[in-house]
Structure 1
Amino acid sequence: MTAVARDDGTIRRYGAMVLRIAAVAALYYAGARIGLLQELVRGQVTPLWPPTGIALACLLLLGPGIWPGVALGALAVNAPIGPSPLAVVAIVAGNTLAPLCSFLLLKRAGFRISLNRLRDALALVFLGALLGMLISATVGTAVLVLAGALPSGGFWPAWSVWWTGDAMGVLVITPLLLALRGARVPREIHLYRWLEAAVLLLGTAAVTLVATRSIASLLFLVFPFLIWAALRFQLAGAAPCSFIVSVLAINATAEDIGPFSGNSLLTQMVTLQAFNGTTALTALLLSAIIAERNNTRRQIERVCAELAEVVVRLTPDETLRPWPSQRDDEEPPDGRG
């Protein structure tokens, strides 16, 4: 009986792992189909590649054992559009290694998925997005050039789009998924709080639409909304607002309108990456700073309460005076003796 029970437990464990891998592959594929709607280079390089953010979030939440799901999803996406079978294998390898390396870098840095510390936000931006995604961009673009799908002179423009898309997938999608994973509907919340959240999201969308589709330089108008989101709602508000801003900015770039128009592809990608990176950095860092401050305040309050209980136990006959205490020779604040 013990052996049968052990075998049943093993089957269930492996069955659950297979289901997780299949789910990750399906999410990766769905995110890729959405990302390809904004392709800019050869039908497969986009300025926002959601699968990288999905893959990294899944690795952080489910562990490195689900990497075959990332590989299967990348294979399903690239097989129909790749220049050759060998090139597809190389691209899939790069797309799998990039989020896996980002995951390992974040784990080495002590990353917490709650994103409630400044160091977590910095690690996600610089290690998870900017550094880790160099692998997929470099491998993928080099493969396209070697396969003859791109001219050698088109390496850097294609590389910039690939790296921008993968990095923005991490900066925009991963925080959003991590925020959704930890989201809880408060039991007691005033109606004005829901109204504030709705106004914040709608205002962010409206201002971003105006800023990204106007020939005037109005992109700075989005930052007050990102600051508002981070101060009032931390990651739960900053992540959706950053997502809205990035998606609308990428859409304007793909349509070649607004402040991103009239430039070469490389210049557009540099400008877009700078803008989206700045907005994501502002939202993530500020929300992490506020969350860290709130955690510190709660810890101080808890320690003070514990100290007060200890003092009461040690001196049960003493009456505790409010702090700061008033000396006998001082007059009360209202001047009455």
Structure 2
Amino acid sequence: MSALVGTLLSVPPSGFAIIWPATAFLVSTFLIIAPSRWWLCVAAVIPTHFYIAATLQPGAPIPVVVTQIGGNLILALATVVAVQKAVGARVRFDSFSTLVTFILVAGLGVPAVVNSLILAVHLSTGWTHDFWLAWRQWMIAGIFPTITIPPVLVLAANGRLTGQPSASPSPRLELLLLIALLFAFSFEAFGAAANTTSWPALFLAPFPFLIWAAVRLGVGGTSVSLLVLASATIVQALWHHGPFALQSPARDVISLQAFLVTISIPLILLAALMDERRWTAALLRLSEARMNVVASATDTGLWQWDSGTKSLWASDHCREMFGLGAGDGQTPMSFLASVHPLDRQRFEAAIKLALSSTEQLPAQDFRIGNESEARWLQLQVHSELGSDNKMQVSGVFRDVTERVLAHLEAEELRRRLANLKEDERRRIAEELHDSTAQHLVAAKLNLSSLKTRVRAPETRGILALGLKSLHEALMEVRTFSYLLHPPQLGRIGLSGVLRQYVPGFASRTGVTASLRVNPLADLLSAEQQHAILRITQESLSNVHRHARASNVTVAVRCISDVVHLVVSDDGKGIQFNNGRELGERLRLGVGLPGMAARVQQLGGRMDVDRRVRGTTVHVAIPLAYGSGGQVR
């Protein structure tokens, strides 16, 4: 049928076809059906073409008919194979690059080669006398149908003729309305009724409808519109009406073909660009929807600030977190209203720094909501300069309420454990001092009294050894009691207790110890003095148990309303390189968390510097001075 149409649209006497749609229909068929069924199409084409040749070309030699049949089939197959090699096995006609490739390969490249081979056979049989004239006629007659018919049929077969889902009736109704209006305006503009001599702009009447199709209905709708325009124009030209019936038949056909080709290529490419834009927008919407689902499921809020356009994008869950609407005029500072007053200044400083610097900032934890229903969020931001030298800031809010509450609960448990430990030490120290030590003193007095009554030298010697052991036991009990809970801390102050404890540690362990303590340490609160003393004891205990050090220094300084405790040794450092140190690791792991809990309870910080040789524990606790310069 398509070959018959092409033959009927030929201009006598040369048989110059206006368009040749046969190859375009074959290409469409091969693109739609599976390659395993191509032979069915070939089997149907061959007898049909023989019948048309016998009817319309009774004088054509057999070699010419055979080359026409074989040439059309080879051209269609070669076009399909070449296009699929260039753009993929599934030709979708939905991107600019695909349409450009299809036009170059199917409209120009493959026909140029195959037509040359066919016409060479025709030239050798005498059926054609002017090779280049026939080649130009075949080429220009095939371009327009090749670049319009396959997109229409392939997209229609896939349910995407209008670039929209086939389930939606609106685009199809819009296409039908467009076809009717376009045919009417084209038929009038290129017909005899229109006074195009006085009003040449009437020739432009169909173009708004073509642009409408390219923008709204995609490649398929645009191709249909171009075929409608071609139909109306060709009908008027065959009736010798319009601008394409003013010269000789050959010139009029060339003008009409050039007109159709020159308007079809840019319009189809424009439609492809619009399809790409719609497809990209749909993917972005789908991606954003999926991202919103994932963000909501993971309690994560995403946002981005473009300083060039002064626009803030935020995911739905992010806006829900901070109670923001979808209106314009928002900035990253809009989040500030929902931040807890105690964290607002720190949050504002982090946002301002992110908006003005590309420096990578650490994550910030802050609260939103009121005190009774506060939620903890973590802010992570990334800033970079865009191509326009404007700041682009991306941020993530993650709900870390459970983690923070668990951490606070763990800190509270550590604090309670430290207090319980301290209370237990005090109780044991009191028991040792008030009970065990008193029993030892009583036993020592009784032995001393007994010694004065005994005359036998051997017995007196035994009693002397017993008195000596009791004396040593009494001294050890008093030492243990002092180490567990120094009673002099409130009387002689922290500096006095450290001046007793550090030399005592040196004499007991053999480790050379030096002490530097600021007298202002005695003005600290009882809680601070007690914490510093316990941290010093724990640090020196770790030095004795783990460090194998020969020297240790203890320094207590008060600088700029901060008390600093620094304990340094020259031992082997804290190293856990093998399983044999598991016991030491566990013992050390109890001490360091306890020290850290004490420091955090007082609002300070603790750093442990682990080196190949030696370890340094640095504790810094802020001070608050009351009236009279007394530290409180």
Please report the TM-score for the alignment, with normalisation by the length of structure 1.
0.75
CA contact (8 A) 1:226 1:283 kept: yes
Q: Distance in 2 between matches of 1:304 and 1:268?
A: 54
Aligned length: 298
* 1:104-183 paired onto structure 2 within 5 Å: 104-110=81-87, 112-152=90-130, 155-183=131-159
Of 53-62 and 42-51, the range deviating more from structure 2: 42-51
- Note the C-alpha offset of 1:148: 3.1
Q: Distance in 2 between matches of 1:160 and 1:257?
A: 25
Aligned residue in 1 for 2:521: none
CA contact (8 A) 1:212 1:249 kept: yes
52, 76, 81: which is aligned to 2:23? 52
Aligned residue in 1 for 2:246: 262
Matched, 1:77 2:65: no
- Note the C-alpha offset of 1:69: 4.0
Q: Distance in 2 between matches of 1:189 and 1:166?
A: 33
* 1:10-25 paired onto structure 2 within 5 Å: none
Q: Distance in 2 between matches of 1:146 and 1:194?
A: 50
Amino acid at match of 2:64: A
Q: Distance in 2 between matches of 1:135 and 1:213?
A: 37
Q: State the structure with more CA Rg.
A: 2
Matched, 1:61 2:61: no
Q: Distance in 2 between matches of 1:274 and 1:63?
A: 34
Q: Distance in 2 between matches of 1:276 and 1:288?
A: 18
Amino acid at match of 2:187: L
Matched, 1:93 2:73: no
Deviations 1:254-311 (A, max 9, x none): 4444212333455334322321112322332122111111111111122222222332
1:259 counterpart SS class: coil
- Note the C-alpha offset of 1:241: 0.8
Q: Distance in 2 between matches of 1:187 and 1:300?
A: 21
Q: Distance in 2 between matches of 1:256 and 1:137?
A: 30
Deviations 1:222-247 (A, max 9, x none): 22111101222223421221111122
Amino acid at match of 1:114: R
- Note the C-alpha offset of 1:205: 0.6
Deviations 1:134-165 (A, max 9, x none): 2454344444444334443xx44433332222
CA contact (8 A) 1:83 1:144 kept: no
Q: Distance in 2 between matches of 1:114 and 1:297?
A: 18
Q: Distance in 2 between matches of 1:147 and 1:41?
A: 22
Amino acid at match of 1:327: M
Amino acid at match of 2:255: T
CA contact (8 A) 2:190 2:236 kept: yes
Matched, 1:198 2:204: no
Q: Distance in 2 between matches of 1:224 and 1:239?
A: 15
1:127 counterpart SS class: helix
Aligned residue in 1 for 2:6: 35
CA contact (8 A) 2:16 2:137 kept: yes
Amino acid at match of 1:97: I
- Note the C-alpha offset of 1:198: 3.5
Deviations 1:151-189 (A, max 9, x none): 43xx44433332222222212322221232123785554
| Identity across the alignment (%) | 22
Deviations 1:172-231 (A, max 9, x none): 3222212321237855546xx666433311121122112323564544332211110122
Matched, 1:232 2:222: no
Amino acid at match of 1:248: A
CA RMSD of aligned residues (A): 3.2
Q: Distance in 2 between matches of 1:249 and 1:137?
A: 27
CA contact (8 A) 1:141 1:162 kept: no
Q: Which runs of 5+ in 1 are unaligned?
A: 1-29, 332-337
- Note the C-alpha offset of 1:115: 1.2
Of 304-313 and 55-64, the range deviating more from structure 2: 304-313
250, 254, 265: which is aligned to 1:281? 265
1:258 counterpart SS class: coil
Q: Which runs of 5+ in 2 are unaligned?
A: 302-317, 338-632
Matched, 1:249 2:233: yes
Of 128-137 and 201-210, the range deviating more from structure 2: 128-137
Larger relative strand fraction:
2
- Note the C-alpha offset of 1:52: 0.9
Q: Distance in 2 between matches of 1:63 and 1:144?
A: 33
Change (3 A) 1:266 1:44: closer
Amino acid at match of 1:301: R
Q: Distance in 1 between matches of 2:65 and 2:169?
A: 51
Please report the TM-score for the alignment, with normalisation by the length of structure 2.
0.42
Aligned residue in 1 for 2:321: 320
Q: Distance in 2 between matches of 1:123 and 1:329?
A: 49
